[in-house]
Each structure stands twice: as C-alpha cells, then as structure tokens.
Amino acid sequence: MRATLLRTNRNYRMLFSASSVSNLGDGISMVALPWLATLLTHDPLLISAVATAQRLPWLLFALPAGVWTDRVDRRLLMLRADLVRMGLMLCTVGMVFSMTALPVPEGGGAGAILSLVLIAFLFGSAEVIRDNAAQTVLPSIVAPGDLEQANGQMWSAEQVTGQFVGPPLAGVLIAYSVALPFGVDASVYALSAALIWMIALPPKKAQAGGRFRAALLEGMGWMRRNPAILRLAVMLGAINAVFVGGMTILVLYAQEILGLSAAGYGLLLTVGATGGVLGGLASPWIARRIGMRASLIAALGVFALVHALLALSGSVILAGLALFLEAAAGMLWNVVTVSYRQRLIPDALLGRVNSVYRFFGWGAMPFGALGAGALVAGLEPTIGREAALHAPYAVGALACLGLLGYGLGRLRFGPVP
C-alpha cells in the first residue's frame, strides 16, 4: 500500500488534496500578512503584534480544542474552520480597499494595524481547530504502518504548496495589487472546504462524553503518565518560540538587511521550502536508518547552526541556506515525533492529548513573536537598527544549543507499538 497510498485510499487522497490546497493559502498569507503590516508601520513591536495575535490562540484554545475534537465530527471541524478563514480573507480584501494609500504615512496606520491584529487572531483561532482535527483524523484514514509514509507525503506536499509555491506567488500577486493575495486565499480555503466535504468517514461515536473538565483532565493525565511525550512537547515549545521569533523579524531582516522586494522575499522562503520538501521525503528513510533519538538530536544541532548563520551574516545566499536547512530539520523533527504520538496515543484520547501537546508545543509561539519584536525595539536605540535585527537570531542560536544539550542528556524512548 505504501507505493499506492494516494491511488488506493480515497479518503487519504481527499485529505492530502485539502491539506495541500489549504497550505497554499497559508503560504500566500505567510508573505501577504506581514508585508501588509510593513505597509502600515515599520515599528517592529507593532509588526510583532500581528504575528503574536495569530499565534496566541494556540495558548488560549489548544486545550479546549482537543475536547471538541474528540467529541464531534473531526471532518466538519476542519470544513467549518476553512470557511471561517475564507471569510476572514474576504474581510482583509475589504480592509485593503478601504485604505486611501499604501504604504501609510508614518504614524497613520495604527487603526489598520489593530484591525489586522484582530483578523490575525481570528484566523489563528480557526487554524487551531483545523490543525488539531486534521492531525487527529489521519490515524482513522490510514493504517498504523503507513503513518510515517502518509505524514511524510502530506508534509512534503504542504511544503511544496505552502512554502515552495505560495510565497513567490504572493510576491507576484502583491506586485499587481496588495488585495489580490487575500482574494486568492479566500478561493483556496473554499476549495479546501469542498475537498474535506468529500471525505467519507463512519459516524463518530461519542468518546469524550461527560463534563468538559473531566474529559480534559483525562487527556492531561495520560500525558503525565508518559514523560517522553511531555518532554517532547516542552522542547517543541522552546523550538517554536525561537522559530516564530525569527520568522516575525524575517520580513524586516529581508527588507533592510538583505535588500529584498516582496517577490524576492517570497523566493527566499521558497528556497527554504525546498529543504522542507526534500526533508519530508527523506525523513522516513532517515528515521529508519539512524533511529528516532539520533534523528531528533541531529535536528536540534541543525537548528542551532541555522540561527548562528542568520545572526552572523547579512548574505542572501547564506540566509537561503539557513532557511533550507531549518526546513529540512523541522520536517525530520515533525515526521518522527508526530508519527510516534499517533502510534502511541489511544484514538479515544488522541484529540485531547494532541491538544495538551500543542498547548506546550505551540502555546509558546506568541511569546516568541512578541519577544523578538520587543528585543529589536529595545536594542535599536543602543546598538543600531542593523545589529538589533540580527539579535533575535543570536538569542535563538544560544537557545537551540541549550536544547541540544538537554536532548543529549534527557531524550530516551521506550519500545513503540
């Protein structure tokens, strides 16, 4: 089945297609949203507020999302989340058309930034629901022995559409009209919702009945009894805080340090995505070849190297290499850890345990985004704008070195079913 998973498994084919299409929209918004923010202001703290708002729902809603995922039809959760995101992108189109001029004169875009912060927060809230449901539904669609293969295929396709195609496409669309990428996004999320509607699953049995709090505590209790999963969640939180902090500042770094246009910024992200595509395809083989622990240690080492390159260099070539390596290492980490969780966690608890995992692993992202913006804003008056834009990557390199040391000492795994 491995070689023909897409051909023989209709439900997986629909989920694969919906995830690919949805991530195309995510890739477009990855460039379009922060670029729009820079047209409204060049204040790193205000720009980081947009990124923080998009990530904050992972801290606020990840835990309840797990209970909802185990109680209701996961397919319908994904469908509704995509429809909400479609509506938000249409609202952004309306906001752009309401602006009299872009870029906005300095100090005149405060109201628009607040609107963009609200849109980003609602967009992120829908993303929390959709992503938890999507990751939880996969074991119901493919056999346990195909999880690494399915995850590798899906994430490779998501990298192609979300970071290989989406970002440069956004740059081209922005060149025609700032509103155009958001209109395309709305269409993309509508198509994703239609594909999810075509997935046919048996009616879901009520598995997480009873009181909401009791259902949530059941998932948290399972996590406490499995310290390896809890340890991975906490490490992922630190990794994601560092990553999101770097990505928040990257749009200013690309404009002011690397001298890139919107199209050039999109191409830079595409170079990074190439590493994700190759990493997604190679990760199942690497994991089988060197094992789970060695794969994760290797990924941590690459994360430290990547941030050091961005901290010490102002070269477009080295920046592209750094993003390439970071995406490849990130895919290796994700394929190994997500497949391990999907195989280990009972299906009846999968939504709730995944939500607890993501609370730790993704809930730290808004702190990373806001912290990076505050760091640049705080250091700029004393060390200058250019050095301040390098600072989040220097801090990230030190943090990743600390994680590497922790992983070498504490990462241990028992037998996997």
Ranges 58-67, 100-109, 232-241, 352-361, most confident: 232-241
Classified as helix, coil or strand, 125 is helix
pLDDT at 297: 95
State the fold for domain 2-410.
Growth Hormone; Chain: A; (1.20.1250)
pLDDT of 10 strictly over 80? yes
pLDDT of 49 strictly over 50? yes
Tokens of 69: 């995922």
pLDDT at 252: 92
> What value does the mean pLDDT take over residues 87-112?
79
Q: Select from 330, 334, 354 the least CA-distant residue to 344.
A: 354
pLDDT at 210: 55
157-193 CB burial, b ≥16 within 10 A, e <16:
bbbbbbbbbbbbbbbebbeeebbbbbbbbbebbbbbb
Question: Cα(363)–Cα(58) distance, rounded to whole angstroms?
Answer: 5
For the chain, how far is it from start to end, CA to CA, in angstroms? 20
Q: What is the pTM of this model?
A: 0.75
> What value does the mean pLDDT take over residues 349-367?
82
pLDDT at 305: 97
Classified as helix, coil or strand, 74 is helix
Q: Which residue has the higher pLDDT, 417 or 109?
A: 109
pLDDT at 320: 95
Task: Assign 3-state DSSP to the chain and report helix, strand, coil percentages, each to 5.
Answer: 85, 0, 15
Tens digit of pLDDT for each residue in 203-242? Answer: 655 454 456 677 778 878 888 888 888 899 999 999 999 9
| Lowest pLDDT segment from 85-99, 150-164, 350-364 | 150-164
pLDDT of 391 strictly over 70? yes
Tens digit of pLDDT for each residue in 264-309? Answer: 888 888 888 788 878 878 888 898 899 889 999 999 999 999 999 9
- The Cα diameter of the chain in Å comes to 61
Tens digit of pLDDT for each residue in 69-85? Answer: 777 788 888 999 999 99
pLDDT of 2 strictly over 50? no
pLDDT of 416 strictly over 60? no
Tens digit of pLDDT for each residue in 138-187? Answer: 878 887 777 777 877 887 777 678 777 888 888 889 888 889 999 999 99
Mean pLDDT of the chain: 85
pLDDT at 106: 65
Helices then strands (H, E): number in the chain? 16, 0
Classified as helix, coil or strand, 389 is helix
pLDDT at 204: 57
**Alpha carbon of 116 to those of 146, 182, 261, 318, 360: distances in Å?**
40, 12, 21, 32, 26
pLDDT at 215: 72
